[in-house]
Amino acid sequence: MAKLAEGDSGTIGSVQKTPNSSPTPIKIIVTGGLGFVGSAIVRSLQEFHPEWDVWILDKGENRRHRNSHDGDDELDLLRGCEYGYVQADITDKTSVMDALAMINADAIIHTAGIVPSLSERYARRLEALVKAVNVEGTRHMVDAARKSRCRAFVYTSSCCTVIDDMSQSYANIDERWPVSPKSSIYGESKVEAEQIVIAANDKSMSTCVLRPSVLFGEGDNQLIPPIHACIAKGETRWVIGDGKNLWDTTYVGNVADAHVLAVENLLDFQSAEPKRGCHGRARAESAAGETFFIQNNEPISFREFSLAVWKEFGHLPPAWEIHIPEGLGWVLGLVAEVFTRVSGTPTTLSRGSVMDACAMRYASGDKARRILGYQPRVGLEAGIRASCEHYAKRLTRERR
């Protein structure tokens, strides 16, 4: 069952709620708002729409409710943000229904989901769990949103819905490309969830889907940390393939902006007088029923990205590199996955990490620019620097 976090009078989950001067403030829910992407979206909402009534729906306990002094923690991803909080598990239909009935939101940004680690990406061990969270959890959210008369629903999907077929290259693809017939359990789950969300689009509740590329930023646990770990392991001289393949990455703050723009678009096209978005651009087209690739629009090779990360930590790889042919890397990745399955110990290497290191995968940002008005505010270099600075602080704390 969903439950509101208890706090003092005038607070919810120990997060002070400032009274809104607007007679009818927009009320918005961010699922998974305590997580990596969700917290970035809450920060973006706070920046562009401080007048909105923002709520986080998450299955975890609100850290600030548990320790009120955490509000001054420089590593707190929600530092300085004002929000309401409701605890609910999206795999529990009753929990979701209760939560949305309590809040009655105008809009929902659904980011909650599960992303398997690279060592599990092409295995099937977690298939039931991934489907339960990413597919059925999304179904529960959409059903509850409609019953609570939500007007706008934005879903955080992934580029993996299209680019997981490693038998081909994906250079400058766009939203007209079909979903992948050969995918990982994660990609498959996102395809099913997308279909649920788009099918729900109608005049009463507008829906759209965002497909971010590989993400990095403050709070990242899946890209910056393993690249940094290569330093201590002495693996920075190793290059899988030729190291020249281009792929998309996205700074999490830019993805957050795209979500805000999507919500604005859906709500504005339901109103009599469409407005300008958070970047000041007038809207010409509705995002309802549409999908969008979201990235930094700066394709980069995996090797160059890794070098940029290592540079931020003061590490320069040896002058001579050791190149591992892609085929050999794939075999070694498979062996590592078998080891993970047998021992239960995750490894850095996997077929997924090898394919990621060798694949050509980047998309056009034209549609998101045209309809949403999306333009990355933070460039790749600045995003990598901010991400590494935050991760360095995390490492310092962990070593104490």
Predicted local confidence at residue 64, as pLDDT: 58
Is 14 in a helix, a strand, or coil? coil
Terminal Cα distance for the chain, rounded: 38
Alpha-carbon span 167 to 207, nearest angstrom? 32
Alpha-carbon span 206 to 336, nearest angstrom? 44
**Which token pair is 126?**
């977690």
Beta bridge partners of 300: 247
Task: Please report how the helices 326-343 and 351-358 are oriented relative to each other, as an axis angle in degrees rounded to 10.
Answer: 150
Are the beta carbons of 35 and 112 closer than 8 angstroms? Answer: yes
Residue written as token pair 């995968």: 361
Please say whether the structural domain 3-216+248-299+365-379 has been given the CATH code 3.90.380.10: no
Count CB atoms within 10 A of the CB of residue 286: 16
Beta bridge partners of 288: none
**Which token pair is 200?**
């729900």
The tally of CA atoms less than 13 A away on the side-chain side of residue 176 is 5
Beta bridge partners of 293: 211
Are the beta carbons of 308 and 90 closer than 8 angstroms? Answer: no
Are the beta carbons of 206 and 200 closer than 8 angstroms? Answer: no
**Which token pair is 395?**
């490492």
Alpha-carbon span 165 to 184, nearest angstrom? 9
Are the beta carbons of 31 and 111 closer than 8 angstroms? Answer: yes
Alpha-carbon span 154 to 289, nearest angstrom? 10
Domain boundaries along the sequence of the chain: 3-216+248-299+365-379
Predicted local confidence at residue 276, as pLDDT: 56
Task: Give me the tens of pLDDT residue by residue for the chain, a chain 400 residues long.
Answer: 555 553 322 223 323 344 445 568 899 999 999 999 999 999 999 999 999 999 999 998 876 543 334 456 778 999 999 999 999 999 999 999 999 999 999 999 999 999 987 666 666 788 899 999 999 999 999 999 999 999 999 999 999 999 988 778 899 999 999 998 777 889 999 999 999 999 999 999 999 999 999 999 999 998 999 999 999 989 899 898 888 899 999 999 999 999 999 999 999 998 766 555 555 566 679 999 999 999 999 999 999 999 999 999 999 988 889 999 988 988 988 898 788 778 877 676 777 778 777 889 999 999 999 999 999 999 999 999 999 999 999 999 998 7
Is 281 in a helix, a strand, or coil? coil
